[in-house]
Amino acid sequence: SQKIEQNSEALNIQEGKTATLTCNYTNYSPAYLQWYRQDPGRGPVFLLLIRENEKEKRKERLKVTFDTTLKQSLFHITASQPADSATYLCALAFEGNYGQNFVFGPGTRLSVLP
């Protein structure tokens, strides 16, 4: 069956360290993968998109990698700050029965401790 998982429900790290979040999937062939940030009571905010033929993307303190062989994406936040505390969601875009579908992972709740 098709499944998308994120490494842990919650992750606590110390301010200044690098946070690494994992997104694993099975039985999908995604065209691309996205990462979003969601704060309580608000809609998700787009962070990064990486396509199947790309290995790595960077944006400021954020870096995402995509390994279609391992069926895994890693999301890194370097020099983390308490303001980075939020839930992070990965999302796959793939061809479904009715055209392009999006499926989201369950999210990882990141807490950056001062």
Partner 1 sequence: KAGVTQTPRYLIKTRGQQVTLSCSPISGHRSVSWYQQTPGQGLQFLFEYFSETQRNKGNFPGRFSGRQFSNSRSEMNVSTLELGDSALYLCASSLDGNAEQYFGPGTRLTVT
Residues lying near partner 1 in the complex (CB under 8 A) are found at 34, 36, 41-46, 49, 89, 91, 93, 96, 98-107
Structure tokens, 46: 């787009």
Residue 104: CB minimum distance to partner 1, A = 4
β-bridge partners, 33 = 50, 92
DSSP state, residue 69:
T
Residue 97: CB minimum distance to partner 1, A = 8
Residue 4: CB minimum distance to partner 1, A = 9
Nearer to partner 1, 44 or 77 (CB): 44
21/107 Cα distance (integer angstroms)? 9
Nearer to partner 1, 89 or 112 (CB): 89
Residue 86: CB minimum distance to partner 1, A = 14
23/89 Cα distance (integer angstroms)? 9
Nearer to partner 1, 16 or 96 (CB): 96
